[in-house]
Structure 1
């Protein structure tokens, strides 16, 4: 393949587009619509499942393989409206409150209105409060300050804001000259961008597939059941394409593709994992094999739902998971190359 750079460039452009499309779990309609339109432009026939996942068949015959990435992200909802016009939030997904303190956000009402806001401490001013640094961060001390002239619950309700409205976080997406991609929600929109690039390459290069390949973009992964439904019945294998976590006692970094051998759900399939490792070695990819004790994936939800399949997990290394995250172009390239070779596109 002489056009790999073209598809990596496309992948990064799609990562930026997806990261800047709000999609906290439960409010993923805009991202779903974006994927349907993008895949349709390529010449595919994507479909939305009942629970909102996006499924597309890329072609091929025989036993099916699903490559899955999730497009839902961390976020929040309005838990209550305070008497002073501030909002108490409830988190969507697992993250500490200090990871969103000081972040800009958008409140999405159920009447399709949007309001900008900031997430702050209840006692935010250092010049007024002496305990700002020591204050415990939780949903009683972190609140949403709306960018409107409101000072009461009644004034907030006049805006149309209600309990149960969604809150998305400003992704602050940046691609640096050195190839680093910094953004919230690289988990898992980095992988979603890679899968879009894979679909684009298959279509444009008219590459025959030696097995049936599906892409599945799920919408409830951050709360644990994204891959539990919407999976084709004719598959024998599924690989979650999700981030590789970077930290102490781990080999993965932002420049590598991570192959996960075990996470909180237990070991991944021996044959699938071994084959991924063998291909990474044969192709001289920059890769790592790691174990993530505080991690779960879509394909484990698929297994829990009763599917009799082989399963695997791989993805680009992402630093500062569930915070302001960072990966690198090389991590995207290595992940793309491993997927390409795994489904025999170059053979």
Structure 2
């Protein structure tokens, strides 16, 4: 199959450019809905704000649902300090050292935006020496320095910034000439772009699907309850299109589609994993099977919520997950290929 790399990158760049930490996803969901409207694909919005698109197939009683999540890591203003800096509380699980020096946008509850930078409370070795180097990178020792001429709590409050405002990390997206993609939030916006492109491909090519396919774009995965509710009731197979984790002692790769056999919630459905690996073998899609002991997904959240479904987890190999991440277009395209081949398989 011939895929349009430029259109896939177009979706990915647009999605990465819209800030969407868990709890602050309306803007990106509006973008998803706009693209679905352009494609003429029916969709609904759940009470919790997830978007579910549906592509009708010949068998409407045995449905397949594929999920990806638009919500990302981020932070929230925990306290306005007397100096005018902001104490932060993390959204999602990341290492504090991974955001040190990162540019951010503060989004206030009434729609104002301000820029700033995450620093430690001792950011200069010229002032603090070894204390700066040895300071433990915890949320208590991190703060946001606002790009405004302020030096007091009162001045920050006068700007309209308050406790509970969202702090969004700059994505810093780069597409390299060698095919690498470097950005924050490739987990899981790479998969959202893949599913959006898969919908477009199926619609544009008027592909007849053997089973009805639902595309579930969740918005609370990073905090553990993205797909706990509102899964289409006729769903029998649920594929979480998320990410693989290449790195130390792992089998995953930045150049293949990664298939998870087991994560922190336990093993995924063996029959469904066999089906996915068989598609990869028959279609000559480069794949890796792996185990992730510190990982959870929308599929595992759905199982814990009591849904009686077969589940699987696939995704592009995302290096340095929950940090400044990297993958390769080969991995994204392999994941796209498996996604489409699964949707059209009997």
| Aligned counterparts of 2:208 and 2:42: Cα–Cα separation in 1 | 18
| Aligned counterparts of 1:248 and 1:144: Cα–Cα separation in 2 | 32
> SS state of the match for residue 237, structure 2?
strand
Deviation at 1:5, TM superposition (A): 2.8
Aligned to 2:105: 106
Deviation at 1:305, TM superposition (A): 1.6
> SS state of the match for residue 278, structure 1?
helix
| Aligned counterparts of 1:12 and 1:174: Cα–Cα separation in 2 | 11
Aligned to 1:49: 46
Deviation at 1:344, TM superposition (A): 2.3
Deviation at 1:321, TM superposition (A): 0.1
Stretches of structure 1 lacking an aligned partner (at least 5 in a row): none
Aligned to 1:28: 25
| Aligned counterparts of 1:9 and 1:248: Cα–Cα separation in 2 | 32
- Alignment of 1:85 with 2:81, yes or no, is no
Q: Give the aligned CA root-mean-square deviation in angstroms.
A: 1.0
Stretches of structure 2 lacking an aligned partner (at least 5 in a row): none
Aligned to 2:249: 249
> SS state of the match for residue 140, structure 1?
helix
| Aligned counterparts of 1:228 and 1:202: Cα–Cα separation in 2 | 27
- Structure 2 matches for 1:223-262, cutoff 5 A? 223-262=223-262
- Structure 2 matches for 1:1-347, cutoff 5 A? 1=1, 4-6=2-4, 8-60=5-57, 61-62=59-60, 63-130=62-129, 131-344=131-344
CA offsets per residue over residues 54-97 of structure 1, 9 Å max, x none?
Answer: 11101213311100000000000000000000000000000111
Deviation at 1:137, TM superposition (A): 0.7
- Report the TM-score when normalising by structure 1: 0.97
Change in Cα spacing, 1:343 to 1:5, as seen in structure 2 (3 Å) is closer
2:96–2:138 CA contact under 8 A, matched in 1: yes
> SS state of the match for residue 198, structure 1?
helix
| Aligned counterparts of 1:82 and 1:183: Cα–Cα separation in 2 | 30
Deviation at 1:343, TM superposition (A): 2.0
Deviation at 1:9, TM superposition (A): 2.6
| Aligned counterparts of 1:32 and 1:43: Cα–Cα separation in 2 | 16
Deviation at 1:331, TM superposition (A): 0.3
| Aligned counterparts of 2:123 and 2:315: Cα–Cα separation in 1 | 38
CA offsets per residue over residues 225-260 of structure 1, 9 Å max, x none?
Answer: 001012111111100000101112211111110000
| Aligned counterparts of 1:266 and 1:17: Cα–Cα separation in 2 | 34
2:208–2:344 CA contact under 8 A, matched in 1: no
> SS state of the match for residue 243, structure 1?
strand
CA offsets per residue over residues 301-344 of structure 1, 9 Å max, x none?
Answer: 11122211100000000000000000111001111111122122
| Aligned counterparts of 1:14 and 1:197: Cα–Cα separation in 2 | 8
| Aligned counterparts of 2:140 and 2:225: Cα–Cα separation in 1 | 28
> SS state of the match for residue 333, structure 1?
helix
| Aligned counterparts of 1:205 and 1:283: Cα–Cα separation in 2 | 19
> SS state of the match for residue 89, structure 2?
strand
| Aligned counterparts of 1:342 and 1:214: Cα–Cα separation in 2 | 13
> SS state of the match for residue 313, structure 1?
strand
| Aligned counterparts of 2:344 and 2:80: Cα–Cα separation in 1 | 54
Deviation at 1:132, TM superposition (A): 1.6
| Aligned counterparts of 1:77 and 1:300: Cα–Cα separation in 2 | 26
